Copies of this chain bind each other. A is one copy, B any other.
Amino acid sequence: MECGEPVRQVRVRAGMTVGELIEQLGEAGAYNGGALSRAVRIYERMLRDRDATRFFGLAGAMVPAGMGGIVTDLIEQGFIDILVSTGANCVHDILEAIGCHHYHGTSLCSDVELRQHSINRIYDVYLPDDAFEHLEAFIQGVLGDLPSGSTMTIAELLAEIGKQLPGGILATAAKKQVPVFVPALQDSMIGLQVWLFSQTHPFTIDACGDMKGLIDHCYGATRAGALIIGGGVPKNYIFQGMLLTPRGFDYAIQLTGDRPDLGGLSGATLDEARSWGKLEGEAEAVTVYGDATITLPLLVAATLERISHD
């Protein structure tokens, strides 16, 4: 029950780097700005720890908002060992990779009129309907090239998809052999396409087939860290893997816009995860509440700046 360091008033100046700004937030140390500076410290240690397996959880419509580039680069740089994502983020990653685009729009519009113009809305991002025709052609092509009568796990299918893409999250994960787990794949356009394909071709996705890979990764980890964007299935799945092992995560960061008092996992504090043993009692962990389209770029840019100082 003691006071820590004095709060220092933040000073900003033209041309300061992101890392310098985060340094200032750390001197102030309060609220979510303070939490973000602690997240940078934890993420730095997690990325420097060569014995740590790094999990990355990707929920929320992050690729339509342009956050996919950051994930792609983190995989390319070797900073993600296991990716767990919603199906939707994979769908939007494929769309971008095959040359379709998301567009700047506005949330102050008539959705009925948008419908008439065949434009789908994700808050203030617009996505023309025809993108899904390209998606269908691409996915059916990938599925058609698979050996007849296949049974695959979700991660295997996503690796096959990634191999046929020129860039983006799935392509880079395939290239770097980073497994991509999407527990609810059928809850996405990819799942719909798989189902359509399976109507005319023998083809099965083994729902629990990826569990072994996940648990092997969890067991194999000397230490483990997780950066979790948003919550949802990816957060739960990442933590669930650890429940079967004797130990929990050593590092954990969550960037979420949700709130704890509603009881849902997406807003739950990382401390709550300690009671379940998902985090080690002494794990370094912090939750930053806010929009990940702001906090994720800040976190990654500032952490890379620190790491580059070697």
| Chain A residues within CB distance 8 Å of chain B | 1-19, 21, 24-25, 27-36, 59-61, 63-70, 72-73, 88, 96, 101-105, 107-115, 117, 119-126, 128, 151, 154, 183-189, 191-192, 194-195, 198-199, 204-208, 210-212, 230, 232-233, 236-237, 240, 243-244, 257-268, 271-277, 281, 289-295, 297-298, 300-301, 304-305, 307-308
Once bound together, how far apart are the Cα atoms of A208 and B184, in whole Å? 10
Query: Which residue in B33, B185, B204, B281 is a CB contact (below 8 Å) of A65?
Result: B33
Once bound together, how far apart are the Cα atoms of A122 and B28, in whole Å? 13
Decide: A123 and B260 in contact? CB cutoff 8 A.
yes
Main secondary structure of the interface of A (DSSP, over half): mixed
Query: Which residue in B32, B69, B289 is a CB contact (below 8 Å) of A10?
Result: B69
Decide: B233 and A233 in contact? CB cutoff 8 A.
yes
Query: Which residue in B5, B151, B298 is a CB contact (below 8 Å) of A103?
Result: B5
Q: If the complex has contacts A3-B103, A30-B65, A61-B265, are A257 and B259 also in contact, measured as CB distance less than 8 A? A: yes
Decide: B291 and A32 in contact? CB cutoff 8 A.
yes
Q: If the complex has contacts A204-B151, A291-B33, are A272 and B15 also in contact, measured as CB distance less than 8 A? A: no
Q: Assuming A9-B66, A32-B291, what are 18 further A-B pairs, CB within 8 angstroms?
A: A1-B109, A1-B110, A3-B126, A7-B102, A7-B104, A12-B18, A15-B19, A18-B18, A21-B297, A27-B66, A29-B124, A30-B263, A31-B262, A183-B186, A204-B208, A206-B206, A290-B291, A294-B298
